[in-house]
Structure 1
Amino acid sequence: MSSLSPAQADDESAVKQPTLKQSTGMKTTQHWLQEQSMPLAYALLFVVLSFTVENFFSTTNIVGLMLSVAQIGMVACTMMMCLASRDFDLSVGSTIAFSGVLGAIILERTQSITLAVGGGLLAGALIGAGNGVLIAYLRVNALIATLATMLMVRGLAFIVSKGQAVGISNETFISFGDGRLFGLPYPVLVVAACFLVFGVLLNHTVFGRNTLAIGGNPDAARLAGIRVERLRIWIFLLQGLVTALAGLILASRITSGQPNSAQGFELDVISACVLGGVSLQGGKARISGVLVGVLIMGTVENVMNLLDVDAFYQYLMRGFILLAAVLLDQLKSHATRKS
C-alpha cells in the first residue's frame, strides 16, 4: 500500500482547495441567480417593451402603470404576510367593494370624510379579524373560511347599496384619488409607504420573524413560545384594514362605491405574491420580490391595453400567469429540498 510523502500531500491539498472554493463560489452564484431571477427577468422585459411597444416608456404611461397597480400593491403587502404564515385570503376583492360602498354611503349621509374613512377601515378590520378567528381558533380551513367570507361580504355590498353604485360628490374625498404630490398620484405614494412599512415589519421586527416562523413550522413556533393563534388574527386584521383602505382609495378614484368592483382581484394579488417568491407553503417571503411580482402583473395588463388586446384574451393571460406562478413556486420548493 503506497503512501504519500509530506510534499505530495501538500500538493494534493493545494489542488483540492481551489476546487472546493470554486464549488462554493458556483453554489453562491447559482443561489444568487435563483433569488434574483424574477427582478432580472422583469428588467429585461421592461427594456424589451420600451423598444417594441409604442408609448410604453412615456412618462404618462409609466405614471399610469404605477397608478393601475396601486390597489394590487397595497393588498399584496398584507397578502404576503398571510401567505408567509401559511394562510391566504380570498375575501379581499369583496372587502374592497364593501368598504368602498360603505364609505360612500356614510359620506353621502353625513358629509364627514373622517366618519366615512373610519367606517370603511373599521369594517375591513372586523372582516379581517373575523377571518382570523375562524381560521386560528375555530380551525376552519383558510380556503373555506375566506371563500365563505368572500360571498357574504359581497352580498352585504349589494344589500347596503341596493345593487346600485353609490355616487360620491365630495371634492375633497375625490381629490385623494386623483391629487398629486411631487408629480406622483397620492395612491402611488400610499402604496410606496405600504411597501416600506411592511418591508420593515417583515425583516426587522419580532412580528415579521414570528410570521415566518409559524409559516415554516407552526408546531415548532408554538413550542418556542409564539402565540400562534393571536398572531394569525393580527395578520388577518392587518389584511382587512389595508384592503379597506385600498377600497376607499378606489372609490375616490372612480367617484363612487361599486358593489361589483374588484371581482377576481384576489387572484391577481396572490399571483403577484407568488411571482415575487412568496411560497404557498409558508415561511418564505421577500418584500422586494412582491414589488417585482406586482409590477409584472401590472406591466402585462398595461401592454395588453396599449396593444388593444381583447378583454377575453386578457382573462386568458391572467389565468396563465397564475398557473405559471404556482408552477414556479413548486419548482423552487423542489430545488430547495434537493439542495
Structure 2
Amino acid sequence: MTQTVRKILLGDQGLLVLFALAFVIVSLTVPNFLTERNMLGLLQSVVTVGVVACTMMFCLAGRDFDLSVGSNVAFTGMVAVMASNATGSITLGILVALVAGAAVGLFNGFVIAKFRINALITTLATMQIVRGLALISSDGRAVGIQDPNFYQISLSKIAGVPTPIWILMILFLVFGFILTRTVFGKNTLAIGGNPEAARLAGVDVDRMRIAIFTLQGVTCAIAGILLASRITSGQPNAATGLELSVISACVLGGVSLAGGRATMTGVIIGVMIMGIAENVMNLLNIQAFYQYVVRGVILLLAVLLDNLRTLASSRAKG
C-alpha cells in the first residue's frame, strides 16, 4: 500500500492529486479566493511565468538552463515600448521586440552549442549583459508608453477573459503539441536522455540547442511585451528573479533537471501552484519579505521532488 501511494505521489497523476487537494483546501480556508475577480487576477498574474515556462521546459528537458530569461523579458519590454514610441507603430515595436528576444536566445544557443560553454555560465553572463543593455538604453529609468493603444494588449478581453490569458492558453496548446506530437519534441527529450546516443541516431544536437534557445528568446519577448503593456511602461528592472520562478514551476511540474522528461500538463500545474502560493499570500496580507522565503522553500521542494522522481525512475528501470 505504501509503495502504491509513493508511486502515485511521485508520478504525473500524483501531481494532479496534490494540486487538486491544495486547491480545495485553499478554496475552503482563504476568503475571496474563489471569486471571479480573484480567479482572473490569478490567471493574469501567472502569464509571465507561464509564457516563459513553455520553452524553459524544452531547455531543461534537453539538459540545459537559461538564467537570462528575466533580463530578456525586461529588455524586450523596453525595446517594444521604445521602438513603438520612436516609430509611432505598435506593430513595428512588437516585431522589433520579437527579433531582439530571438537574437538573445540565438546568441545563447550558438555560444553553448558551438563553443561548448556550459549553459549555466553562458546564460548567467547574458543575464548580466542583457540587463545592462536594458539599463543603458533607458538610462536606468522607466520608459512611458506614448500610444494608449499599447495598453489594450493587456486590457482588452475576448469573451470576458483578458487577452493575455488567451495568449497563454494558446502557447500552452502549441508547445504541448510540439513536445508530444512532433519530431522536434521527441528529439529534445532524446537529447536530454542521452545526447551522445541522440547524435549517433542522426539528431543534429547543436542545431536543436540553438533552436530551443532561440524559441526561448521569442517567448521572453512575448512575455516582455505583455508585461510592459500591463505595467504601462518599459521597466529595465522588471522581471528580476523570474528565472527562479520559471525553473521552480517547471521542476514542480515534473520536468527533470537531469533532462529527458517533461509534460506540458505538469508544467501548467507547476505554474498554477506558484501562482496560487503568491495569490494566497497576497489575500492574507502576508508581507513581501516572507514571500521570498516561501519561493525559496518551493524551489527546494521542487528539486527534492525531482530527485525523488529520478531515484524512483532509476529503481523501476533497474
**TM-score range relative to shorter protein:** over 0.9
Aligned-partner residue type, residue 108 of structure 2: N
Aligned-partner residue type, residue 123 of structure 1: A
Match of 1:173 in 2: 150
Distance 2:87 2:249 in 1: 37
CA deviation digits over 1:177-226, x for unaligned, max 9? 11111111111000000100000000000000000000000000000000
Residues 274 and 329 in structure 1, CA contact (< 8 A), matched pair in contact too: yes
Query: 1:30 offset after TM fit, Å?
Result: 6.5
Residues 165 and 259 in structure 1, CA contact (< 8 A), matched pair in contact too: yes
Aligned-partner residue type, residue 240 of structure 1: G
Aligned-partner residue type, residue 97 of structure 1: A
Distance 1:150 1:103 in 2: 19
Aligned-partner residue type, residue 200 of structure 1: F
3-state SS of the aligned residue for 1:203?
helix
Identity of matched residues, %: 56
Match of 1:148 in 2: 125
Distance 1:29 1:192 in 2: 32
Q: Does 1:71 align with 2:48?
A: yes
Q: Does 1:230 align with 2:207?
A: yes
Aligned-partner residue type, residue 269 of structure 2: V
Query: 1:28 offset after TM fit, Å?
Result: 8.4
Q: Does 1:308 align with 2:285?
A: yes
Aligned-partner residue type, residue 64 of structure 2: D
Segments ≥4 residues shifted beyond 6 Å: 26-30
Match of 2:239 in 1: 262
Match of 1:291 in 2: 268
Q: Does 1:215 align with 2:192?
A: yes
Partner of residue 253 from structure 2, selected from 276, 281, 304:
276
3-state SS of the aligned residue for 1:262?
coil
Match of 1:252 in 2: 229
State the superposition RMSD in angstroms: 1.4
Partner of residue 38 from structure 1, selected from 15, 18, 21:
15
Query: 1:62 offset after TM fit, Å?
Result: 0.4
Deviates more, 1:162-171 or 1:64-73: 162-171
Query: 1:32 offset after TM fit, Å?
Result: 5.0
Distance 1:326 1:48 in 2: 24
Aligned-partner residue type, residue 150 of structure 1: M
Distance 1:153 1:196 in 2: 29
Query: 1:336 offset after TM fit, Å?
Result: 1.0
Query: 1:29 offset after TM fit, Å?
Result: 8.3
Unaligned runs of 5+ in 2: none
Q: Does 1:84 align with 2:58?
A: no
Query: 1:286 offset after TM fit, Å?
Result: 0.4
CA deviation digits over 1:217-236, x for unaligned, max 9? 00000000000000110000
Alignment of 1:3-18 (within 5 A): none
3-state SS of the aligned residue for 1:131?
helix
Match of 1:110 in 2: 87
3-state SS of the aligned residue for 1:36?
helix
Query: 1:169 offset after TM fit, Å?
Result: 2.8
Distance 1:309 1:163 in 2: 30
Query: 1:35 offset after TM fit, Å?
Result: 2.2
Partner of residue 28 from structure 2, selected from 46, 51, 59:
51
Aligned-partner residue type, residue 17 of structure 2: L
Residues 169 and 255 in structure 1, CA contact (< 8 A), matched pair in contact too: no
Distance 1:308 1:114 in 2: 39
Residues 304 and 314 in structure 1, CA contact (< 8 A), matched pair in contact too: yes
Aligned length: 315
3-state SS of the aligned residue for 1:163?
coil
Unaligned runs of 5+ in 1: 1-22
CA deviation digits over 1:234-267, x for unaligned, max 9? 0000000011110011001111000000000000
Match of 1:100 in 2: 77
Distance 1:135 1:37 in 2: 35
Query: 1:114 offset after TM fit, Å?
Result: 1.7
Q: Which has the larger radius of gyration?
A: 1
